[in-house]
């Protein structure tokens, strides 16, 4: 289905490069004091997702991003009401449900405006016959809303839900992976140096990072694989229902049981991994283990029919951002913070991120070649 524009990741190339060039310019403009890299990464990744979904001239995108970010923060918190789901009154006492309902109404209204703007723009384009215009995800989804396709159709609510899923599932997961990768490399300067040397060598003649040579970055890709092994942003896969009764390790699992797979624990299991707690990207060099869900000891994107549909899009965002950060800048911890003391405590939420924001000093190596 064409909706899987998500798979046609190349069409998002210009969007990614523009947004990440803005990130590089912003980092270059920060002089002296430590940069909150975590915050900057979240904003950039949401902007990439948003421009891919809504196009680059959507006036409501800032507001949408800010409501989504806020609702993810609230939804990720602990709620006593969830422990006692039958006590409906408790959900109102804790205040979570009314808050989420308010966010839902807000995002629903913004999405309604965005969809109407897209319909209006399409009508004007058809009327004026302006020829080929770049399509974004909303344009693609709307083709299935009008019922003209006999094989497949979407309701307005379906369209809104898909867009919300893309933000909910595609924002924090990618930005926290980049954050963890930078934190791990700061803790081990040998790895940072090696990844940086590779990126600088590959883009030496071009003088700037672009997506066309990303496949040559073997070591950087191993760094990303190792980051997703130790820090999978979705440590517990989506719940499954057991289709037939079975026995695992002597435990009887009745039919219809809810089964939750712990991808985090599997990826640290000493039966499958040597020195499982060590961050060591070299373990993936020359290895055939990939993200497709067929190596069950490594399933950061899940496996089977419910495997993550956004993995290609997410990985491109992660690889390119890291390559740009490493190409343009040298990085150090703020004075007084030792790399071995960097706190790697996890914080549970919609995705698992580092508890503390990553504050770093940057030193410009190659300024952005502004055209």
- Residue 165 found at the interface with ligand HEM (CB under 6 A): yes
Q: How many CB atoms lie within 10 A of CB 166?
A: 19
- Residue 297 found at the interface with ligand HEM (CB under 6 A): no
Instruction: Pick the binder of ligand HEM from 114, 139, 170, 368 (CB under 6 A).
Output: 170
- Tokens matching residue 11: 């069409």
> Phi, psi at residue 133, to the nearest 5°?
-125, 140
Nearer to ligand HEM, 55 or 310 (CB): 310
Question: Can you tell me the distance from the alpha carbon of 176 to that of 113, in angstroms, rounded to the nearest whole number?
Answer: 30
Is 308 annotated to bind a ligand? Reply is yes
Q: Calculate the alpha carbon distances from 20 to 100, 208, 224, 323, 355 in Å.
A: 31, 12, 18, 10, 24
Contacting range for ligand HEM; rule: CB under 6 A; set: 85-93, 214-222, 230-238, 336-344: 230-238
Nearer to ligand HEM, 58 or 368 (CB): 58
Count, residues near ligand HEM per rule CB under 6 A: 25
Annotate 61-91 with b (16+ C-beta within 10 A) or e (fewer): beebbebbeebbeeeeeeeebeeeeeeeebb
Residue tagged 């094989």 (tokens): 151
Strand ranges inside 124-253, DSSP E: 240-241, 246-248, 251-253
Question: Can you tell me the distance from the alpha carbon of 232 to that of 236, in angstroms, rounded to the nearest whole number?
Answer: 9
- Tokens matching residue 16: 């990614």
Residues 352 and 232: beta-carbon distance below 8 Å: yes
Instruction: Pick the binder of ligand HEM from 24, 308, 324, 360 (CB under 6 A).
Output: 308
- Residue 281 found at the interface with ligand HEM (CB under 6 A): no
Contacting range for ligand HEM; rule: CB under 6 A; set: 78-86, 215-223, 233-241, 322-330: 233-241
Instruction: Pick the binder of ligand HEM from 20, 42, 115, 166 (CB under 6 A).
Output: 166
- Per CB under 6 A, which of residues 172..211 are in contact with ligand HEM? 173-174, 177
- Residue 309 found at the interface with ligand HEM (CB under 6 A): yes
> Phi, psi at residue 364, to the nearest 5°?
-75, 130
Least Å distance between CB 198 and ligand HEM?
A: 21
Contacting range for ligand HEM; rule: CB under 6 A; set: 19-27, 163-171, 198-206, 320-328: 163-171
Binding site for ligand HEM (CB under 6 A): 6, 165-166, 169-170, 173-174, 177, 228, 232-234, 237-238, 300-303, 306-310, 313-314
- Binding site for heme: residue ranges? 308
């Amino acid at each position: 289905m064409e909706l899987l524009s998500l798979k046609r990741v190349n069409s998002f190339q210009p969007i990614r490069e523009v947004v990440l060039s803005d990130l590089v310019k912003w980092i270059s403009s920060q002089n002296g004091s430590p940069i909150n890299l975590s915050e900057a990464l979240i904003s950039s990744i949401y902007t990439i997702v948003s421009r891919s979904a809504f196009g680059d001239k959507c006036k409501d995108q800032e507001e949408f991003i800010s409501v989504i970010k806020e609702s993810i923060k609230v939804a990720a918190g602990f709620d006593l009401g969830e422990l006692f789901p039958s006590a409906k009154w408790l959900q109102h006492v804790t205040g979570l449900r009314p808050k989420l309902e308010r966010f839902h109404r807000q995002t629903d209204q913004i999405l309604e405006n965005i969809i109407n703007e897209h319909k209006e723009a399409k009508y004007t384009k058809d009327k004026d016959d302006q020829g080929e215009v770049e399509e974004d995800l909303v344009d693609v989804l709307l083709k299935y809303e009008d019922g003209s396709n006999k094989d497949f159709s979407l309701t307005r609510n379906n369209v809104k839900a898909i867009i919300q899923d893309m933000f909910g599932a595609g924002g924090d997961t990618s930005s926290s992976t980049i954050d963890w990768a930078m934190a791990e490399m700061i803790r081990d300067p040998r790895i940072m140096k090696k990844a940086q040397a590779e990126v600088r060598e590959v883009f030496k003649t071009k003088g700037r990072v672009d997506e066309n040579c990303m496949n040559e970055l073997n070591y950087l890709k191993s760094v990303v694989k190792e980051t997703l092994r130790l820090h999978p942003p979705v440590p517990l896969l989506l719940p499954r229902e057991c289709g037939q009764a079975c026995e695992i390790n002597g435990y009887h699992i009745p039919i219809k049981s809810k089964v939750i797979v712990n991808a985090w624990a599997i990826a640290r299991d000493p039966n499958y991994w040597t020195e499982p707690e060590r961050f060591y990207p070299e373990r993936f060099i020359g290895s055939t283990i990939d993200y497709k869900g067929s190596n069950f000891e490594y399933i950061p994107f899940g496996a089977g029919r419910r495997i993550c549909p956004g993995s290609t899009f997410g990985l491109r965002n992660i690889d390119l951002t890291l390559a740009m950060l490493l190409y343009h800048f040298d990085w150090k911890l703020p004075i007084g913070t030792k790399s071995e003391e960097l706190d790697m405590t996890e914080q549970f939420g919609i995705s698992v991120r580092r508890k503390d924001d990553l504050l770093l000093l940057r030193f410009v190596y190659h300024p952005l070649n502004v055209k």
